[in-house]
Amino acid sequence: MRYVQAVAWLLAGWGMTCPAAAAPAGEDDRLRVEVRGTLALPDEAPDADGNPVRITGISGVAWLGDDRYVAVLDNSDLLLCFALDLSPAGQPLAVRGLRAVRLAAVHDFEDVAVCPEPLRARIATRQARQQGRDPGACLLLAEEDTPAIRAVSQQGGDLLGIVPLPENMRQRRPNRGPESLAADPDDSSIWTANEEALAGDGPMARVGGGTVVRVVKIPLPADPPRPTRQFAYPVEPPHAFVRMFAGEPLSGVCAIVALGAGRLLVLERAAGPGVPPFKSRIFLVDTTDAANVAAVDRDLADRGDDFLGKTLLWEDSLGCNLEGLCLGPPLHDGSRALVAVADNGGLGTPNQLVGLTLRLPPRRRQAWLLGVGAGVAGVAAALVARRLSGRITSP
């Protein structure tokens, strides 16, 4: 989503890149998110005909495997494909092979995910029945204007169908609809969420108050069919800022990363008409035993007992408008790369990639290693004792 033009001069003085921020106290004792660095993207990329295409409004990103990624541009018909070199520690070093892919329609595309294989195979089978060609690899795109989740061809940009959203998600407020999308690692479901509260669920974010959105787990077609589940997620209020011009702040969910087993990373982004202009937070949530609120038709903000619990893993309040986040490859120390995209929003600031890592805290890893060492020492001691007692003899 774009913010007002007036923050351009604020960002110019506030800093053009996102500096690293330490993980806050009280972080989850299993996971930690750390920033590794930023990398500015070019202002243009060639399309299939070699014509330069302006890059603006990057809003979501997905990892395609190896060093390959894809990003989506909002209010456009464009995907951005590229290769990204990461250091062994997850720092973004260089972007290669940048190219724009034109989609068959213009929408307010906000996030992108790799189409799960069962759904891709289903699409290919349908195409074959209709005498169409196999579309090959496909992607899912979340768009706010219809709203919808659309399947598209990764190579040619053809629209391949729609994954139905729950009917209540159509009650989204303008420009506050589904802005996040993730495919679960088990290949059986898709996750999304509205950015701020649906019209009947409660208020939008405002100074001193957050908003409550629906995190939605949409199962892929199966026999027997499985129900869609919805979870009430409380978004933090807009951050404190020094007002510099007119306008209302916002705070909402702009990206989800599915970790499997019901666990998610949720990226919240707040913006305000002042300094600092943006604040981003990454939370860990576990939906395993959470209340399913799919049957709740309104006033979700009043159901505090049903809210998802969440743990803050990282936050940053300097001028970087993070819009998208995805899980990347494993790194040398056993952590996973996270890649985020920062949208210039037409403000004249750089489009950026932000490298982060999702890792075990050192103290946990050290305890685990000590435990393994103790176990090995214990086995060795037992073997020695048995030898000394004559229970084991040499061949």
395 compared with 4, residue with greater pLDDT = 4
- Is the pLDDT higher at 261 or at 187? 261
pLDDT of 223 reads: 79
pLDDT tens-digit readout, 228-272:
999 999 999 999 999 998 999 999 999 999 999 999 999 999 999
> Considering only 96-105, 141-150, 375-384, which range has the smallest mean pLDDT?
375-384
Select the more confidently predicted residue: 92 or 388: 92
Say how far apart CA 279 and CA 205 lie, in whole Å: 14
Residues 6+ apart with CB under 8 A from 216: 165, 166, 169, 191, 192, 193, 228, 229, 230, 231
pLDDT value of residue 222:
82
User: Is the separation of the CB atoms in 341 and 38 below 8 Å?
Assistant: no
Q: Which helix (H) or strand (E) holds 380?
A: helix 362-388
Highest mean pLDDT among 25-34, 127-136, 142-151: 142-151
Please tell me the least confidently modeled range out of 101-105, 344-348, 356-360, 378-382: 378-382
Q: What pLDDT band is residue 171 in, cutting at 50, 70 and 90?
A: confident
Across 287-307, average pLDDT = 97
Residue 390 has pLDDT above 80, yes or no: no
Q: How far is the C-alpha of 180 from the C-alpha of 268, rounded, in Å?
A: 10
Between 15 and 343, name the one with better pLDDT.
343
Tell me which of 11-20, 169-178, 196-205 is least confident.
11-20
Question: Average of pLDDT values for 30-43?
Answer: 91
Interval 177-194 mean pLDDT: 95
List 192's β-bridge partners, or say none.
Answer: 181, 216
Instruction: Answer for the pair 168, 297: CB distance below 8 angstroms, yes or no.
Output: yes
The average pLDDT across 32-37 equals 94
- Three-class DSSP labels, 118-137: HHHHHHHHHHHHCCCCCCCC
The mean pLDDT value for 294-301 works out to: 96
Mean pLDDT of the chain: 85
Domains in the chain: boundaries? 7-360, 363-395
The mean pLDDT value for 289-313 works out to 97
Answer whether residue 386 shows pLDDT above 70: no
Residue 92 confidence (pLDDT) above 80: yes
CATH fold for the domain made of 7-360: Neuraminidase (2.120.10)
